[in-house]
Amino acid sequence: MEHILSILIFFPALAATVGFVVDKNSIRAYALTVTAIEFVLSLLLWYGFDTQNPLMQFTEFFPLIASYGISYSVGVDGISLFLVIMTTLMTMIAVIGLSEKRDLKHLLITVLYLEMTMVAVFLALDAIIFYTFWELSLVPMFYIVGAWGGKLRIYSTLKFFLYTFTGSLIMLVGMLYLGYVYFQTTGHWSFNLQDWYMLQLPFSMQLWLFAAFFFGFAIKVPMFPFHTWLPYAHGQAPTIGSVILAAVLLKMGTYGFIRFSLPLFPDASVHFTYPMAILALIAIVYTAMVAYAQEDMKQVIAYSSVSHMGVIILGTFALNVEGIGGSVFLMISHGIVSGALFMLVGMIYERRHTKMIKEFGGLAVSMPKFATIFAVMLMASVGLPLTIGFVGEFLSLLGFFRVSPTLTVIAGLTIIFGAVYMLVMYKKSFFGPCDKPENQNLEDIKGREMVALIPLVALVIILGIYPKIILDPLDTTVSGLIEQMHIKAVLPETKARLYELNSIGEVK
């Protein structure tokens, strides 16, 4: 267990490099073995994790550029633990369900390199290391969409890359300036987050730095009005690209807000609570309406992702244990559910070579197993009680209710829109007469596809009924985060606000 975090980070990349000499007929089995081992390692990490400890665990530190305080520093807490497990799980599931046949070897090698960057982002404790892997994740995703995507793949990849890269550059400026501030304060350089957490920054400086980090994270989420790259990326990406993009890459943005913005800039976070909530509400309402108007099944789910990410932002900026814990749980549930939905759309596209809703109808007759699993995931997506989607949404809205009951009611009502557009899509696609000859003899879910989907269905139900196994470690870490914000705040009104938002008991 001593170097388990480094093993988790670099094992997929090492395996990907070895993959170049693996025979192309054996590459699927090889990639599946690698991702399965990675998933088991993440479960081993959970087994050895102390759920009562809010601090970073299994930390590793190695100086890289000592004169400027840049180091290889990694660690895991209750928040990053479950995001790492979700990453390894969804990567493995995506490989199992992979239907792409063109140049399969290079696609799977690219996916393994991508897994390395995603795991590293959630474990990095040095800002420069975080930024390095944050940017490196763009390269394999750019390649996956650009090489295996649809007709507009080049336009989509360029838009995706330019949006996210531009936001990241602004974030980098903020990181470099914060390193300089630490140098001015202490007399030596450091980009280690645990060192930065010791700084108490003036309110005016927090505002500007919050804005710099905001662009990097908001574009990745994506928040309104930076969301326009996502539907293109999803629409043109191959199924495995959409699964990983929805399940993991979007969560890097919301994770960034929790790991950087809240603890480093507590006064600015409180100050920008309402602007962030307004942007989140616009995303929830506007993209729900856009999703309802879509005729492409994949685009409905893509815009649905933007809407759900708005709920995650709302929970994050509730700034209390319920809201932040709920937002992290919703990241996990959305990763599982949206990944499964994109996989299901990919399966029907493989059979019919179309994603247009009007081309379907009566699929429940010809594909009953497919229809049943799609219905389970759809119900989880709209937040049906006793499914995984309900828990995160309920806690996020419960947390924000303490901030603003009015805005929470608006958010809650607009979530009903999600049920409308998802159920309408399901009705048009799966019910009614199966009057198109092309749909009458479609093959139902096959063995390999069932192996990929059944674990996700099980998680949707088990974690919906018993979320405690994830919420307890989350609450411990989030309570520590709230306490850290309370201590670091420089404005008395910020301290009072944090105390008020967590007033069921004192800030723990």
Tell me what pLDDT residue 505 has.
Answer: 44
Helices (H), 74-223: 78-96, 104-123, 127-136, 138-148, 153-186, 193-196, 203-220
Residue 17, CA distances (Å) to 26, 28, 112, 129, 401 in order: 15, 15, 9, 21, 49
Please tell me the predicted confidence (pLDDT) of residue 506.
Answer: 45
The number of distinct structural domains making up the chain is: 1
For the chain (length 508 residues), average pLDDT per consecutive 10?
91 95 90 96 94 91 91 94 96 90 89 96 95 93 87 87 91 95 92 92 94 94 88 86 90 94 94 94 89 88 90 93 94 94 91 87 89 94 91 92 91 82 90 82 88 95 94 91 90 87 56
Is residue 152 assigned to a domain?
Answer: no
Give the list of residues 6+ apart from residue 192 with CB closer than 8 angstroms, or none: 69, 71, 73, 125, 126, 127
- For residue 366, tell me if it sits in a domain: yes
335 falls within a domain: yes
Residue 231 belongs to a domain? no
User: For position 508, what pLDDT does the model report?
Assistant: 40
Q: Is residue 364 part of a domain?
A: yes
The H-or-E segment that residue 466 falls in is: none
pLDDT for the residue numbered 503: 66
Domain that holds residue 392: 272-465
Whether residue 326 lies inside any domain: the answer is: yes
Per-residue burial over 385-414, b = 16 or more CB atoms within 10 Å of its CB, e = otherwise: eebbbbbbbbbbbbbbbbbbeebbeebbeb
Residue 213 lies in a domain: no
223 part of a folded domain:
no
Enter the tokens of residue 3.
């170097």
